Amino acid sequence: MSAGRARRRRWWPLPVAAAVVAAAVAAGAWWWLAGREVPGGPPGRDPPAAATPHRNQALPTAQLRLSTSPAGAAIVLDGEPTGRLAPDLFAVEARVAHTLRLELEGHEPVELDLRLEPGEVREITVEMSRL
């Protein structure tokens, strides 16, 4: 390179960096907006009549009033321990088949299949048999 020649600047890194940043911002905005629901859905389209509940709406529930003799049986609902002991009153999802299991040390476990309707309050009393 001769002394009289000016060094030529590279012009491309700045526009390329700006394009990368713009693409990243656009992708982030799309990702953020894609997870949000637009009220009413797309324009010109009615929601189906029997639509499933919105994720912020509560599912229909029923109440289960449960007691055992002797008292103190652990309540297991659908295979998951509830951390509750009988007697107890608690809400369960309605219109769904549930398996209720009662466990008490020194007694035979009891298993019941249930399906409750919305708003129903079902009272169940179980006599636990000794082992």
> pTM (2 decimals)?
0.56
pLDDT tens track for 11-57: 677 778 888 888 888 877 776 666 555 454 445 444 444 444 555 56
The domain locations on the chain are 61-127
- The stretches of the chain forming alpha helices (DSSP H) are 13-34
| Residue 81 confidence (pLDDT) above 60 | yes
Per-chain mean pLDDT for the chain = 80
| Residue 106 confidence (pLDDT) above 70 | yes
Which of 109, 108, 126, 18 lies closest to 66 in space, CA to CA? 126
Contact 31, 37 (CB under 8 A): no
Q: Which residue has the tokens 């000016």?
A: 6
The topology (CATH level 3) of 61-127 is Immunoglobulin-like (2.60.40)
